[in-house]
Amino acid sequence: MISRVLAADVPQHVGERISIAGWLHRRRELKSVAFLIIRDRSGLAQVVLPPGTVAPGGEETVLQVEGLVVANAQAPGGAELTDPVLTALSGPAQPPPFDLYRPGVAATLPTILDHAPTTLRHAQLRAGFEVAAASAAGFRAALDELGFTEIFTPKIVESATEGGANVFAIDYFGRPAYLAQSPQFYKQAMVGVFERVYEVGPVFRAEPHDTARHLAQYTSLDAELGFIGDHFDVMPVCRDAVAGMVESVRKRGSDAMQQLSATLPEVPAEIPHVHFAEAMALFSSATSEDVSGEDDLSPAHERWLGEWAQREHGSDFLFVTGYPQSAKPFYTYPDRSRPGYTNGFDLLFRGSEIVTGGQRLHRHEDYLAALAERGLDPAPFAGYLQVFEHGMPPHGGFAVGLERFTARLTGATNVRQVTLFPRDLHRLSP
Amino acid sequence: MISRVLAADVPQHVGERISIAGWLHRRRELKSVAFLIIRDRSGLAQVVLPPGTVAPGGEETVLQVEGLVVANAQAPGGAELTDPVLTALSGPAQPPPFDLYRPGVAATLPTILDHAPTTLRHAQLRAGFEVAAASAAGFRAALDELGFTEIFTPKIVESATEGGANVFAIDYFGRPAYLAQSPQFYKQAMVGVFERVYEVGPVFRAEPHDTARHLAQYTSLDAELGFIGDHFDVMPVCRDAVAGMVESVRKRGSDAMQQLSATLPEVPAEIPHVHFAEAMALFSSATSEDVSGEDDLSPAHERWLGEWAQREHGSDFLFVTGYPQSAKPFYTYPDRSRPGYTNGFDLLFRGSEIVTGGQRLHRHEDYLAALAERGLDPAPFAGYLQVFEHGMPPHGGFAVGLERFTARLTGATNVRQVTLFPRDLHRLSP
């Protein structure tokens, strides 16, 4: 390893000659003295240049600097390197699309995305990805604690069964195949093996909507568990998974959250819940808008309900339960006591849906009936249906969209800000 | 949640009436008494049936059993349920393709794979996936400890740049695109942002080889780090990642390993290494085989070297370093002191390659020269090459194939035994 002290540790070495290595974050030339600021994964370190010394490259060039550590209250961390010997570890860097050392981001989203390998080095842009990494780790840790097993399922599937038209077709050794829109069928099947499973992986939607919250590929945090009574047994597990994500960001991402001036929510021990029909009635009576015939929440409904949850329950989170059958996939368990409604739920976070879930059908005959009711041919579902002939317990689950969760947590207004190299209708590179 | 005590906890409730729930693992009818064995994620529990009682379904039907716990030294765990009330939670199950309650697996691999949602319930088949889950968790934990950041990169890419013909083509909103064969370019780019990154995710190879170790989709455990001197700084990190995987299996998968009669290796603090040329010379002098012109290890070479490492170093692991340039991709850093060889390495585990890695080029001009030397047009690499114009430190990394690692660890002779719903030349379902 290149022998080096990390920038954050420099102040511990006052009086010693050490080496640091990192990117030339900034050159500052004053009348009588010049400084280099070196950036590495731990932070920034200041180097004092003797008059006449020139750095071997502009900002973003990678340098190793050997020097004597001297205390200086003005320097980051209270110490700086003097009497430096500079060695370039890369060629001179081309200037980045905007000044990465400035506190703000002086670039539009397309510029940021086109030059992501460079622009994401900016502390404010990088921070979102630190929050995402911490969130995913927290999801896994919470479910590990609850006896879940991690699975890895196929992303190439034989038939486009799940969501109609929004699938990507692939040429599979000369045969047609499709990219999986979710691990739904596989995670259900694996409840039969492990009872409780989760998967963190990419899902693919040939999403024709060009919005701030749709992507052609996103990271889905999926969980499924057996031996439930109904969806009210899934919701506490969902709550624990989300609480684990928030807790992990508190532990591992607090610098990043501070960088983004974002605040972490409290996750209530029991997240408040409201039935879809009641939610619509509340919205309608407050706004005098006609909501008859609505079977799903619009972004406006979600925003209003987010404010309502904050006002009524002091909660950033709200479960909306019992979605109408027409808004939920065929495998959703119906609410036998309330025809037309289901045991499906969504979780809103600060007025935006970040989780969808519910109880699923688990009896073979119920699947046949549900497909018939929707006029769907059971043939393409043969492999899936077979699972339910071999003894499946009552079960349910949920999926968190990592990018939407991260965006909501960090205040990003577009999921692309917290997606590494996003894919959408228009964007296929870098 | 369905109120239940897990099977493993039944013996703690002697004298109480409790409920358990799980799959009817086995019915045993003796002359004067009948037993049901119930299986859940924690283990097995025995239920004594009063004469004349019939279970509501055959093996694999999901049951809830309420009963009085009575000590019985012959029962699993020393206790059993008597005076039971049985409730079916699923419909009567169709018989599985083979008896899941027998210790051995009486089915061929195609049968196992065709009926995976049912067959993987067998303790011996399920065990491999517990080992895989523990391995992936160990990889992440070891790298988290070393300051790595987890990333999630695109699986849909614009050009089939990395590995020639073995790519899957997809229809991307009417444009051609491809499934990523590895996160190589993205993980390198992110070294510029985080210094140290890893990704656990699917990679895709349109692999025309129908062998016991090739898959069209597998789970790649990828890592990349900056500020190295050369590949000898990557190898200890690779060692730590693999040691973390083994340690995690020791902690979380020891029952599964026992189920498979598999033994965990010791990972030496420093894994022995041998240069490719020396490895070939050793093989040749031991076997009198001509190895001139060979630029890669065949399975036979790997096996022989595995035995050699065990004999000479008492190690299940061996790094082979310095692979010839012709066997390694264009981004591999050349060994300046030994023309024709590189700073690429593989890690053999029990005589089989499970990791490939190396130092990469990090200077823009070196990339242009390397592409020119191989007669490759730089145009499709434009986005990738741009990364190296903006200051990239010397870096390298490695990738572990999760299925190959798990197969080697558990003694599986075919990677499909430890792959959930494998994809290959012939198999696209379930």
pLDDT tens-place string over residues A1-49: 678 999 999 999 999 999 999 999 999 988 888 999 999 999 999 999 9
CB contact A407 to B (< 8 Å): no
Supply the pLDDT for residue A371: 95
Q: In chain A, helix, strand, coil percent, each to 5?
A: 35, 25, 40
- Which of A390, A405, A420, A423 to mutate to test binding with chain B, by most B CBs within 10 Å of its CB? A390
Do the domain assignments include residue A107? no
**pLDDT, position A213:** 87
Burial class (CB in 10 A: 0-12, 13-18, 19+), A374: exposed
DSSP conformation class of B213:
T
B150 & B250 share domain? yes
The predicted pLDDT at position B162 comes to 61
Beta bridge partners of B275: B321
Rg (CA), chain B: 26
Q: What are phi and psi of A334, to 5 degrees?
A: -75, 155
What is the DSSP-derived secondary structure letter of residue A333? Answer: P
**Residue B208: per-residue pLDDT:** 87
Percentage of residues in chain B having pLDDT higher than 90: 90
Q: Which residues of B touch A217 (CB under 8 A)?
A: 154-156
- One domain, residues A218 and A71: no
Tell me, yes or no, whether A122 and A83 share the same domain: no
Q: What are phi and psi of B173, to 5 degrees?
A: 50, 45
Angle at the Cα of A127 from the Cα atoms of A125 and A133, rounded to 5 degrees: 125
- Asked if the model's pLDDT at residue B409 lies above 90, the reply is yes
In 3D space, the residue among A224, A194, A191, A201 whose CA is nearest the CA of residue B128 turns out to be A194
Report the C-alpha gap between B100 and A350 in whole angstroms: 48
| Alpha carbons A18 and A38: distance in angstroms, whole number | 14
Q: Note whether residue B141 is domain-resident.
A: yes
Partner B contacted by A160 (CB < 8 A): no
Residue B107: how many other CB atoms lie within 10 Å: 18
- First CA to last CA distance, chain A: 30
CB contact under 8 A, A217 and B129: no
φ/ψ of A67, rounded to 5, equals -170, 175
The answer to whether residue A102 sits within a structural domain is: no
Residues 54-113 in A contacting B (C-alpha not used; CB under 8 Å): 57, 60-62, 89-91, 93-94, 96
Query: Can you give the pLDDT at residue A208?
Result: 87
Select the residue of A120, A206, A402 nearest B173 (Cβ to Cβ). A206
Residue A196 lies in a domain: yes
Looking at chain A, the whole-number percentage of residues with pLDDT higher than 90 is: 90
Q: Is A285 on the interface with B (CB under 8 A)?
A: no
Q: Compare all CA atoms of chain B with the CA of A403 and give the residue at the minimum distance.
A: B152
Which residues of chain B neighbour A229 with C-beta distances below 8 Å?
1-2
Residue among B272, B266, B385 at smallest CA distance from B330: B385
**Is residue B424, in this structure, part of any structural domain at all?**
no
Task: Give the tens place of pLDDT for each residue, B373-394.
Answer: 999 999 989 999 999 999 999 9
Dist CA B179 CA B206 (whole Å): 9
Q: How far is CA A424 from the centre of its chain?
A: 16
The Cα A345–Cα A324 span in angstroms is 10
Q: Are residues B169 and B128 in the same domain?
A: yes
User: In this complex, which of B117, B201, B208 lies closest to A201 when CB atoms are compared?
Assistant: B201
Do B123 and B188 share a domain, yes or no? yes
* Residue B1 touches partner A, C-beta closer than 8 Å: yes
**Domain termination residue (choose one: B88, B107, B128):** B88
Residues B76 and B125 in one domain: no
> Inter-chain contact B61–A156, Cβ cutoff 8 Å?
no
Last residue of a domain, one of A88, A107, A141: A88
Nearest by Cα to A21 from A5, A34, A37: A5
Check whether residue B50 and residue B126 sit in a common domain. Answer: no
Phi, psi (rounded to 5 degrees) for B325: -55, -40
Alpha helices in A172-298 (DSSP H): 184-194, 235-252, 254-259, 276-287
Q: Do B161 and B55 share a domain, yes or no?
A: no
Nearest to B386 by CA among B402, B364, B414: B364
Please determine, for residue B190, whether its predicted confidence score (pLDDT) is greater than 90. Answer: yes
Q: Residue B358 in contact with residue B231, Cβ under 8 Å? A: yes
In this structure, are B33 and B122 located in the same domain?
no
Query: In chain B, pLDDT over 70 holds for what percent of residues?
Result: 99
Show Cβ contacts of residue B254 under 8 Å, excluding neighbours closer than 6 positions.
none
User: At B213, is the pLDDT very low, low, confident or very high (cuts 50, 70, 90)?
Assistant: confident
What residues contact A40, with CB distance under 8 A and at least 6 apart? A4, A6, A7, A20, A21, A22, A23, B195
Q: What is the CATH number of the domain that holds A37?
A: 2.40.50.140
Q: Does residue A189 form part of some domain?
A: yes
pTM (whole model) above 0.95: yes
Provide the pLDDT for residue B163: 58
CATH number of the domain within which A390 lies: 3.30.930.10
- Write the pLDDT tens digit of every residue in B294-351: 999 999 999 999 999 999 999 999 999 999 999 999 999 999 999 999 999 999 999 9
B276 shares its domain with B147: yes
Give chain A's domain count. 2
pLDDT for A85-107, tens place per residue?
A: 999 999 999 999 999 999 999 99
Structural domain containing residue A73: 7-88
**Mean pLDDT for back-to-back runs of 10 residues, chain A (430 residues):** 90 97 94 92 95 89 97 93 96 96 95 97 97 98 98 94 79 95 97 98 92 94 98 98 98 96 97 98 94 92 97 98 95 96 98 97 97 92 94 98 97 96 95
Asked if the Cβ–Cβ distance from A420 to B90 is below 8 Å, we say no
What would the two tokens of residue A190 be?
């694996």
What type of residue is B221?
Answer: L
Residues of B in contact with A201 (CB under 8 A): 201-202
Q: Is A206 on the interface with B (CB under 8 A)?
A: yes
Cα–Cα–Cα angle for A279, A280, A282, nearest 5°?
65
Looking at every residue in chain A, the average pLDDT score rounds to 95
Instruction: Report yes or no on B304 lying in a domain.
Output: yes
Residues B283 and B371 grouped into a single domain: yes
- Has residue B248 been placed in a domain? yes
DSSP A280-312: HHHHHHHH----TT--S--HHHHHHHHHHHHHH
Residue B168 near residue A230 (C-beta atoms within 8 A): no
Geometric angle at alpha carbon A243, from B7 and B195, rounded to 5°: 110
Residue whose token pair is 């990972």:
B267
Are B128 and B77 part of one and the same domain?
A: no
**pLDDT of B370 above 90:** yes
Contact: B157, A428; criterion CB under 8 Å: yes
B120 touches chain A (CB under 8 A): yes
Whole-number Å distance between alpha carbons of A191 and B118 = 11
